[in-house]
Chain A
Amino acid sequence: MEVIPYFLAGLIIGSIYGLITLGLSLIFGVLRVANVAHGSFVMIGAYVAFFGFTLWNIPPPVAAFGALALGAGLGALVYYVAVKPLMRAGELNILVALFALGLLIAEAARMVWGPDFRGYAWSIGSLSLGALVVELSKALGALMALAIAVALELFLRRTYFGRAVRAVVQDPVGAQVVGIDVEKVFLLSTAIGIGVTTMGGVLLTLFIPVGINPYMGGVYTLISFVIAVMGGLGSIMGAYVAGLLFGVFQSVGYYVFSLLGFAQPFEMALFLAFLLLLFILLFKPTGLFKI
């Protein structure tokens, strides 16, 4: 079966996609805000990985934790600057402000780091399973993404703060009535959501050898929204599993479209992703599965 390597490769990149989507889904679940600046934070994570590795030789799995701290700080800033002042002004204003913020971050990145595509190579060997060769760095990234998703889920289920978050997701007014500091939940959810996203950006660089540039975020905003909607907006494990599914869909789609003779199979797979988004929102807006 020629398709099996594509399937496995899809699962591995899908794990990263899942990780990148967790934060988007968490923020939407808690604040009901669609973070359309999402991809920009993936981009920041990618630059953290690049500079961490090229300047100080920090391996990406370690840099991921630095990115978590940086992203959480940025998340808190975004909450105070863009989200909190606009919560009462209405959805349109928040969406437009966040959209502008996303472009602002990308443009600032271009002015500081330049428009070039950058990349680095961190190799720790590879594993061959018959015809299939798996790079260990990628497998490690995928496993780490899984661990982070499970840790976040456990955090939301087992700790007081996690239960507070889930209470706000279910009913913000009710949560306030029973004494939960809703604003603190908003702040921490934004910080964690964006922190995890930048972390995802770091691990993503293991898969895009020369793809780091200021405008790389846009496509991940799109992909993350497709995945978040597939998994049910607001669901953490739903987002992760949908990420795996999307990775397989993209990878196998690439294989099928190249068999069909399309010149740009990757672009066609993305086109299908966007159709998928529309139809899931229309027919199954709560997501494909119940987790």
Chain B
Amino acid sequence: MKPHIPIGIYLALMTVAFVAPEYSKLIASVAFFMALGQAVNIFIGLTRYVDFGYVAFLAMGAYGVGVVLTYLPGLGLAALPIGIALGVAMAAALAAAVGAIALRLRGAYFAIATIGVNEGIKHFIVGANIWGGGAGLILSSAMFREFGRETALFLANVGSTILILLTGLIAVVAMYLIQSGKAGYALAAVRQDEDAAKVMGINPTKYKLLAFMTSASLSGLLGASYFAVGNMQVFPENVFFIEYILDGMAVMFLGGAATVTGPIIGGIIYYFTRDLIGMIWPGAQALVTALLVFIIVVLLPRGIVGTLRLYLPPKARELLP
């Protein structure tokens, strides 16, 4: 059950983005949902815990790049990897801090504990007026200065798309490795019966924290690639926008929670559905998204890939991990 198809899709999209830059922004938009769904899947799909403060990880990634570009001038091209590394590290550190406290709590209590994380951090950044405060960080002039105009525009246009696709690709591999290894079995046991798993000698908090930090780091990378590099700005109302967690869960549930291929299919369908709605009924995307999530969760809780896997013969099932 190796994830050849998902990896193949990502590599093909990277090639297209590189060869035909005019499609780059479109690919970036679709890939953003694919990667977000996959990152969300690694935590929510594998543990069945909901984190309502999840968007903060995207924000941490974006702020990592933003802070390095704004406050550490003169690094040149090195600012990009340093900024991304800082963003991912901040997302992972936030996950470690929140997880160490909240992952001891079960189910609904965990969800309640995380409900304020996203808004709380936003209020802190705006309230204490750090990192640009409520006005955010505009990165375009810093990027032109550090990278040169041509390179900066190339990075924002094609570079960010490749980075987003890379995030999705790493997420696919991480999902596959976790699921097919010891951690996957441990998490499956915890999902079904946390107390029984504990009795069998599994440390639930350890494996949940592993999934949580992996997922958070990938979302940090995604936030850095999409907002900071791609849009050349980090704006609190944007990077902390609560609907991204709904998007991520929509993609995951649509494709199939805890499957490797699900978020790719879910991301593609989700993006084009939203796009279509935007053309037919402008301004109603969020309304229809919320309705869609609601309907999927109630009527098709296994998602497309999860449902397909129920009916496919074993050989075909191997191709859709």
Query: Is B131 interfacial (CB-CB < 8 Å)?
Result: no
A60 to B291, CA, bound (A): 32
Please report which residues of chain B, range 102-144, place their CB below 8 angstroms from some CB of chain A when the two chains form the complex.
102, 104-105, 107-109, 111-113, 115-117, 119-121, 123-124, 126-129, 133-134
On whether A86 and B297 interact (CB within 8 A), knowing A34-B108, A103-B286, the answer reads: yes
Interface size on A, residues (CB 8 A): 50
Contact between chains at B108 and A263 (CB < 8 Å): no
Contact between chains at B123 and A270 (CB < 8 Å): yes
Residue interface bits A186-228, CB-to-B below 8 A is 1, else 0:
0000000000000000000000000000000011011001100
Residue interface bits B228-245, CB-to-A below 8 A is 1, else 0:
000000000000001100
Query: Is B154 interfacial (CB-CB < 8 Å)?
Result: no
Contact between chains at B298 and A91 (CB < 8 Å): no
Which one of B42-50, B63-71, B263-271, B308-316 contacts A? Answer: B42-50
Contact between chains at B48 and A274 (CB < 8 Å): no
Closest-CB distance, A263 to chain B (whole angstroms): 5
A14 to B116, CA, bound (A): 19
Residue interface bits B272-284, CB-to-A below 8 A is 1, else 0:
0000000000011
Of A82, A264, A270, which one neighbours B119 at CB under 8 angstroms?
A: A270
A contact residues around B116 at 8 Å (CB): 222, 225-226, 273-274, 277-278
On whether A265 and B127 interact (CB within 8 A), knowing A92-B50, A96-B50, A274-B116, the answer reads: yes
Query: Is B294 interfacial (CB-CB < 8 Å)?
Result: yes
Interface size on B, residues (CB 8 A): 47
Closest-CB distance, A70 to chain B (whole angstroms): 21
A contact residues around B104 at 8 Å (CB): 282
Query: Is B290 interfacial (CB-CB < 8 Å)?
Result: yes
Of B113, B291, B297, which one neighbours A93 at CB under 8 angstroms?
A: B297
Residue interface bits B290-321, CB-to-A below 8 A is 1, else 0:
11011001100100000000000000000000
Contact between chains at B127 and A225 (CB < 8 Å): no
Contact between chains at A111 and B298 (CB < 8 Å): no
Query: Is B89 interfacial (CB-CB < 8 Å)?
Result: no
Contact between chains at B242 and A32 (CB < 8 Å): no
Closest-CB distance, A255 to chain B (whole angstroms): 15
B interface, over-half SS: helix
On whether A268 and B112 interact (CB within 8 A), knowing A92-B48, A104-B294, the answer reads: no
Residue interface bits B65-87, CB-to-A below 8 A is 1, else 0:
00000000000000000000000
Please report which residues of chain A, range 246-281, place their CB below 8 angstroms from some CB of chain B when the two chains form the complex.
257, 262-268, 270-271, 273-275, 277-279, 281
Closest-CB distance, A283 to chain B (whole angstroms): 10
Contact between chains at B109 and A281 (CB < 8 Å): yes
A107 to B113, CA, bound (A): 25
B contact residues around A266 at 8 Å (CB): 127
A209 to B306, CA, bound (A): 49
Contact between chains at A93 and B246 (CB < 8 Å): no
A267 to B105, CA, bound (A): 27
Contact between chains at A264 and B134 (CB < 8 Å): yes
B contact residues around A218 at 8 Å (CB): 119, 242
A279 to B289, CA, bound (A): 34
A275 to B53, CA, bound (A): 13
Contact between chains at B298 and A34 (CB < 8 Å): no
Query: Is A69 interfacial (CB-CB < 8 Å)?
Result: no
B contact residues around A93 at 8 Å (CB): 297-298, 301
- Can you name 14 extra interface pairs (CB under 8 A) apart from A95-B50, A107-B290? A34-B112, A82-B298, A92-B49, A97-B294, A99-B50, A100-B246, A103-B246, A219-B119, A263-B127, A266-B127, A267-B127, A270-B119, A270-B127, A281-B102
- 25 residue pairs bridging A and B, Cβ less than 8 Å apart: A34-B108, A34-B112, A36-B52, A86-B297, A86-B298, A89-B297, A91-B108, A93-B297, A96-B50, A96-B293, A100-B293, A107-B286, A111-B283, A219-B119, A221-B115, A229-B112, A263-B127, A268-B123, A270-B120, A271-B121, A271-B123, A274-B116, A274-B123, A277-B115, A282-B104
Give 8 nearest A-B pairs by CB, closest first: A274-B120, A274-B116, A267-B127, A107-B287, A104-B290, A268-B127, A100-B293, A103-B290
Binding site for A on B (CB under 8 A): 44, 48-50, 52, 98, 101-102, 104-105, 107-109, 111-113, 115-117, 119-121, 123-124, 126-129, 133-134, 242-243, 246, 249, 253, 283-284, 286-287, 289-291, 293-294, 297-298, 301
